[in-house]
Each structure stands twice: as structure tokens, then as C-alpha cells.
Structure 1
């Protein structure tokens, strides 16, 4: 799917000279007439961007997931739970920096180097302030979770805030141009080096601090590599006009981003508060693989969707058609994979050791969250692309209220329970219910009220992928319940995995004409070359 881009045709792939205080046409989405003149260049650019976006996400998550599972096997649930709770505290501020200007720079139709300079220095100033604030609030976070050891771990992780701030503008430039190759390379290098350091420190007996070192090294190496592959450098100035231009849109986006982050991480907050570090570690492992599959299969597409949909923001028919095609790709890649994971979840976590087995049921339930996210992951970018970030903000905070209420009730209901399996499964079930209800509401608002497109026209093509994923889970699940397959967990993992994969792939090819046509076309091309 990766194809070379003719830089002489497509302005989005030209080298950008940011020393000139002029409009940066190379960063702006091309107008319709330029797209017509460029012929197939926008499509070629999109295919290349999608390929490298998938490579970026797969490389990052593949590496970090392997490292996480190795460290989980070595350190156990408690150490993973402590660092997960500390990271939640730091990631709130990181997310705020990421959402404020990254989305704004990508979405703006007109952008000049004043905006980039203003954005960079605003983010750096905010990073320093938030780093100091986070260090000061660390003892309160530790007290809230009744875990005194969190204080020093939170303080040790606060440099990640500044490191995140250093990457926001250069990353936004590359994403706006849909140049994902350097991002993929940077991410793979950083996660690999961070993983090696973390595993080495775990072998040396540093327990939770091995995970802290992994996070810091990954962030530091990532920042260095990103700046080495980016031509843009900031000037020593803060243009006030450009700062005001950025602030209006980014303040709404940031507010929505905070709401989204808190809503999707409220489960971890409740587990840490009510059930402690051990349950938090179990839940994090249960959450890790469904999150990874959703990130690789669907959120990789989300990274490309905002600049691509923003290019069509004044062409509603074309925007709806492009959104439908992207959602079909998201469903075909995501839903069968989640069905296979749900089928193999219990034997998979059992391979880490008996202390991790309570995470199996929760992982199956969190696959439902992954399925919902496959459908919902493109809704936010679609609203942002047409300049409606306020809807995202309102819905994210509404989800936060619903989530707080749901998880507080679960926490109170099971408070005092010592059954880790019941605790993590209850939170996973609550998360599934909240995500499903909010996503249905967001679909209605996005498709019917804002874009005014036919909902079935967008969702209908995803039905074969949904059926394939559901069948891939249900058949092994029923076999497991009947006790037909005995023996060690490794045998069950292999049998359920092969069975689920065969069923999902067979149904997808049989029911989905688009996918079947693409596969047959690829096979025909390869056979023709031979």
C-alpha cells in the first residue's frame, strides 16, 4: 500500500522553508481545484500516510506491549499497578499539551510560521508550569490513592511533561503534511531503547523503578529523534496575533481532550482508589491488548483522518463518502482481531502465571470497549474537521459525568471485597456500558445532526466484519464452556486462536465483497507477476 509520492506535484510533500514570514501553502490542505490538477496525488499521499500511520502505531504498540508483558511476568501485578496509577497522574497534563495545539495546527486551513512560533513557546511555557504543578500535587495524589510510594514515582515521571511539550509542534507539522514515516521511525527507536533499559533494570531488581526508567528513556529518546528528523526550528519570539488565533480553537479542543481522557481513564482511577495496586495491575494487563488492537487497527486510521477529512470540510458529500470508506477499513481490520483476542484471552493471560489469571474475564469484556471504539474512533476527527470541536467537548464531559457515577457505584458496591477477578470484571463491564451508550449518542449527533448523512450508508458496510468477529469469539467460547478442550493453557491458546482466526477470516471473505475483491485482486497481481 505504500507508494512513492511525486513531490513536484503534491504541495503537501515539498520541503518547507519556515524562515519566511509568509503563508505556508505546503502545510495547508490543498483546495479542490489543486486536487483536480494533482490528479491521483492526494490519493497516493493518503495511501502512503495510512501505511506509515499503521507502521507507526504497530511499531510503537508492538514493542511496548512485548516489553509490558515481559515486565509484567518479571515484576507482578503490584509493581505494574503502582506505576500505572502514577502514569495516570502525569498523562493528564501530557494529554492537555497534546490536545491544545496539535489538533489546532493540523486543522487550520491557513497557517503561517508565526502560528508555529507562537504555538511552540506557548506549549513550552505551559509545560514548565504544569511540570512544577504536577510535582507539587504528587503527595496529594499519593494520599488520594492511599499509596505513599506514589509521591516519589510521580515526581520522577514529571520530566515527561516537558519532553512531551518539546514534541508537540514538530509532530503536528509532520502529521499535517501526513508525513508519518519519520514519526514511525522515531517511535520504534524510542520504544525499543526504552524497553531494553526497563527490562535491564527489572533484571537488576529495581521493581517499579524499572517501569519508570522505561517511560523516561522512551520519552527522551523520542524527543531527540523527532527533532533530528524535522527541519523546522522555532524563532525567539511570541507573535501575539498568532497566539490569539490559536488559542480560540485550541481552548475548546483542550477542554474536550481533558474530558475524553478523564472519561476513558476513570476506570483506572476508581480501581486505584477502591481496590489498590494489585487490582490496578491486573486491569492494566486486561486493558493492554484490546487497547493495542484498537490502536493498531483503528486509531492508526484516526491519525490520518483529521487532515484528510479537513481537506474535504467544504464538500459534505465527499466527506461523508470518505468517512464511510475509512470506517469500513477500521471495521475490517479491527473487529475480527478483537473477536480472536476475546476467544484467546483467558489462556493468554494464564501464560503469564497464576497471579495474572483474574485478568482473563476482564480482557474479554474490554474487547467490547475495543469494538465500540472501532466505530467511534473517527467521530471526533469528523467533528473537528468541520470546525465543531465544541460538540466533542460537551459529549466528553457528559461521558465523564456518566462514568464517574457508574464507577463510583461499582466501587462502593465492591468496596471491601478481596476478589480481584470480580473487581476488575465489574469495572470492565461498567466501562463497556458507558462507552457503548456514549458512542451511540455521538453517532446520532455526528451523522444525523451535523454531517446529515445516511447512517446506514456509513455503518452498513461494516456488518460483515462485525459478524466475522462475533463468530470468531462465540465458537471457541462455547467450546471452552463445554470443556471439550483440556490440557495446558498453551494448548488451549493455540486451538482457540487457530479456530477463531479460521472462522473470522472465512466469514469476512465470504460476506464482505470489498475485502474479497481486494484480496483476490492482490492475489491475481502476484500470480500474474509470477
Structure 2
């Protein structure tokens, strides 16, 4: 769910209190797109392309650095430390998510935004974050008792400052996302994660165990907030306009309620693991989940970040909105599905490199790639509904998903309760998560495409079929090679062979079957070949 100086603002005038009316009018995207001539369309197109590039850079930088740090710390600390901190983080992240969802999407989506809305939103979030920080600190012992993990109490309390740090960033970040200027967000995220990673590894080397992960999280949040306010040109005024609060409240309440439902629905698996199976299973599952989540974030959720303001611009033109959604989903599928197939192919040898205590996570990672595939298709559905002013559907579906998830995972927990087989525990939860995500996403597609946008489902999904075939084949062939023991030797050799095989098959099939992708590649390659032939 900050900015250097925006291109419309002179860098030398950053300290000047700009006229708020002019500033906010620059933030507001047009309700309809002009069709008078090409030059008037060129600016939105260039802005979208730039936003997509920097959104990918933002996500890739954040997840690239954190994933490297995560795997380094995993090898140093083991599953237990990861499980304890994961259980505590789940508790804190619920309140962080509430702050993020309350106003971020409201500010981005709102057709008419004024300075009063931003002032009111900022101070409401700050007040709320202070209250939630105190409540979270007081409730930490209850969370620890619920999960039968007394050591979680102090870690929860230590992580509560992250709630206030999150509150400080909500409105400035929403402004940047509304403007679709993602470059400063990418730089800020990269700086924060690099510094936090260095601190976490240093603390692990010093023997702080789980507290190394706590230090990492706090430093990332603190540095990110400082950098954000250093580079943003917006400053809040000391007031709480009543009308602005009223304007924001309706959409914000629905977004917040939906956000809570979404968060709990996608994290119910960890709740069950922590409650029934303990910190080691949580740690194994987090590693199994890490890379599929990373690929989905980089390839699909990066596009999600720019989709809401772009689709909201077309909210009064459903036909054009459907066409734009189809193109975005095709990009998401081409980037995400082959990559997830390749990851599933190399999951077991990759996890084995961390050490024998992590090997039970391999099967879970393969199954969680299915969740990643489902998310590639579902990640743009929520923004599409928000763009046309239907956040209530998101809210209802998220709580329905939570209800289904609670029942599914409770049954799994009861079925395996008392089992000491970590591999079976992680695999069962991963399989349950795949089933829940798939069923809810199919329902959400029907509602979004057929009932709300009234567009052809095949029109939206058809272009993604080649990417799906490529990703499936990229996994299936190495899987069969492994199944029949055609490659023997150390895990490093298997990782290399499976990775090369999966990449070649997935990439070759994608180029052979997807005409859009092939055309794009040829447009990039032909000028380079022409230059080389000209030199000869």
C-alpha cells in the first residue's frame, strides 16, 4: 500500500510554503481523459510509463535487498528465531495495515482532493497511530498467551514504534502515489532496507538472535520515515477541518474494513501455524512464502501500485477501463507466471542450501507458488473495483475469504494437531492457502468482470494463456527430471540444472506463443542487430 522535489516545483523553493490550492490542484487526476489531440494524451502516457518503471524499481529494490538479508539471517539464526519474530510481526502489522488502508486509497482514488483533506487525514492518522501503539503494547501479553509463546511479549512491545512510524508516512506516500511519481519512493525504500539489513546482520553476528530481526525492522521503519519527510515538499497545517473529515470518512471506513479483512484473510495461515504448531513451523513457512511473495510483489503488485490512479482516471469510461485492465493483466502475467514456474522448479535445491533444518520448507514453497499464480490474476481486481467507487465489494469478499479461511485452516490445525512432522504441517497449510485463494479469486473475477465492469472474461484473461502455459511447462519438466532421479549430485548442481532447464523452456514457450511479447522483444532486438550488422 515521498517524494524528492516534484518536477513541477523548483528545487530551490522547497522551504517555501507553496500555495495549497495550486499544489492540490496539481495532484488531482482528470475525471475524464481528453481526446482533442495527441499531445494532450502524451503526458498521461509518459507519466504512466515512468510510474510503472519506478514502481517496479521500488518493489524490486525493496524485496531484492530484504530477500538477500532474510536468507543471510535465516542461515545464521534458524527457523525458531524467525518464527518468534514472525508471530510478533503479525500482531503489529494488523495495526500498521489499518493505518495504511484507512486513507491511502482514499486520497489516491478521490476525484476532488483539497488541502483540507490532506491536513485532516494526516492528523487523524497520527492520533490513531498513537492510540493504536498504546493499545498494542498493552495487548502484547494477550497475543503471546494466545499463541503459547511467552517470549513473544517483549518482542511485540519492542516492535510497536513501527505503528507510529507507519502513521507518519501514510499521507505523504499517498500523495506520491496519486501523482504517480514513484522514483523518490524507490530511492527511499532502497536506502531504508539497505541500512536496516546491515544493522540486522551486524546484530546477528553479535549474538542477538531474534532481536537482530527486531532491530532490522525498526531501523527500516525509522530511516524510511526520515528519508520520506526529507524529500517531500508537502507539510501539514495544524487543523482538523470538519467537512474534510466527513468527506474522507465514508470511503476510508470501507477501505479500512476491507483492508483488515484482506490482511487477516491472507495471513490466517500464519495465525493457525503460530497457534497450533509453534515458532519453528512459522519460521519454515515464512521462508517458504518469502520467494513466491517476492516474485508476485515484483512482477504483479508493482503494477498494482500504479493501477489505481490510472484506472481511476478512466472510471467514467468502462469500456476503456476494461481494455486498460486487460493490458495491465497481460503485463502482470508475462512477468509473473513464467518466473513462478521457474521458482517452483528450483524450490527444493534452493531451500536446501540454507541448511538441513530448512529443508521441510521446499515442498511448501512449491505449493505457495500456486498462491502466487492466483495472485497474479487477482492482484488488479481490487484496484479496478476501487477505481469505479465500489470498495464495498472488496470489503464483503475479503471478509468472506476470511470466514472460509478460518474454517479451512482450523480443520487443518485440528487434523495435524500433535504432529511433529514439520514438512507435513507446512505443506498442508500451503495447500489450504492455495485452495482458498483460488476459490475466492474466481468469485472475484466473476463479480468484477461480469457484474461490475460488464466486459468479456475471455477478453481480459485470454491474452494471459501463453504465459500460463510457459510457466507450467517451466515447472513440469524439471519436476519430472527430479521425480525420476535423472540428475544426481549436490544441491548446487541440481539448482543450476533445474534453473537453466526451467528458464529455457518457459522463456522459449513464451516467445513462441505470445505474439505481444515476441513483438516487443523483436522491436528491442532488431535495432541492436542492425547496429552490429552496420558496423560489420
TM-score, reference length from structure 2: 0.95
Q: Distance in 1 between matches of 2:258 and 2:440?
A: 14
Q: Partner of 1:318 in structure 2?
A: 320
Structure 1: 5+ residue stretches without partners: 1-5
**TM alignment of 1:99-138, pairs within 5 A:** 99-138=101-140
SS of 1:32's equivalent in the other structure is: coil
Aligned partner of 2:432 in structure 1 is 430
What is the aligned counterpart of 2:472 among 470, 473, 479? 470
Q: Does 1:309 align with 2:337?
A: no
Separation in 2, partners of 1:224, 1:33: 36
The answer as to 2:238 corresponding to 1:236 is yes
Counterpart for residue 408 of structure 1: 410
For the 8 Å contact 1:369–1:432, the answer to whether it is kept is yes
2:370 is the counterpart of 1:368: yes
Q: Is the 8 A contact 1:335 1:469 kept in 2?
A: yes
* Displacement after TM superposition at 1:524 (Å): 1.4
Provide the C-alpha distance between the structure 2 equivalents of 1:17 and 1:52, rounded to a whole number of angstroms: 28
Aligned equivalents of 1:196, 1:334: Cα separation in 2: 29
Per-residue CA deviations over 1:329-355 (Å, capped at 9, x if unaligned) read 000000000000000000000000000
2:33 and 2:313 in contact (8 A); partners too: no
State the match for 1:444 in structure 2.
446
For 2:167 and 2:185, how far apart are their aligned partners in 1?
16
Corresponding residue for residue 501 of structure 1: 503
**Partner residue of 1:180?**
182
**1:224-276 CA distance string (max 9 Å, x none):** 00111100000011111101110110000000000000000000000000000
What TM-score does the superposition give when structure 1 sets the normalisation length? 0.96
Alignment check: 8 A CA contact 2:62 2:193 kept: yes
| Consecutive unaligned residues in structure 2, runs of 5 or more | 1-5
Q: Are the equivalent residues in 2 in contact too, given 1:35–1:41 (CA < 8 A)?
A: no
Where 1:26 maps in the other structure, the secondary structure is: helix
Contact kept, 8 Å, 2:33 with 2:314, in 1: the verdict is: no
* Deviation for aligned residue 1:526: 2.6
Match of 1:3 in 2: none
- CA distance in 1 between counterparts of 2:531 and 2:188 reads 34
Q: What is aligned with 2:330? A: 328
Inter-partner Cα distance in structure 1 for 2:229 and 2:105: 19
Quote how far apart the aligned CAs of 1:40 are.
Answer: 1.3
2:76 to 55, 74, 77: 74
Rounded to whole Å, the distance in 2 between the matches of 1:244 and 1:18 is: 25
Residues 481-496 of structure 1 aligned to structure 2 (within 5 Å): 481-496=483-498
Give the equivalent residue in structure 1 for 2:420. 418
Using a 3 Å threshold, how does the CA distance of structure 1 residues 135 and 33 change in structure 2: closer, same or farther?
Answer: closer
Aligned to 2:28: 28
Deviation at 1:32, TM superposition (A): 3.4
**Structure 1 residues 301, 476: closer, same or farther in 2, change over 3 A?**
same
RMSD: 1.6
8 Å CA contact retained: 2:31, 2:315: no
8 Å CA contact retained: 1:22, 1:112:
no
Distance 2:41 2:59 in 1: 29
SS in 2 for 1:24: helix
Matches within 5 A, 1:13-162: 19-21=19-21, 24-32=24-32, 34=34, 36=36, 38-162=40-164
Counterpart residue number, 1:263: 265
Measure, in 2, the Cα distance between the counterparts of 1:85 and 1:524: 52
Offset, 1:7: 6.1
Matched, 1:353 2:359: no
- The structural deviation recorded for 1:186 is 0.1
Q: Give the secondary structure class of the aligned counterpart of 1:130.
A: helix
Verify the 8 A CA contact 2:284 2:360 in the aligned structure 1: yes
Q: 1:258-311 CA distances to partner (integer Å, 9 max, x unpaired)?
A: 000000000000000000000000000000000000000000000000000000
In the alignment, the residues of structure 2 paired with residue 181 and residue 527 of structure 1 have an alpha-carbon distance, to the nearest angstrom, of 31
Distance 2:477 2:60 in 1: 28
Residue 76 of structure 2 contacts residue 204 of structure 2 at CA under 8 Å; is this kept in 1? yes
Which residue matches 1:283? 285
2:213, 2:308 → 1: CA distance?
33
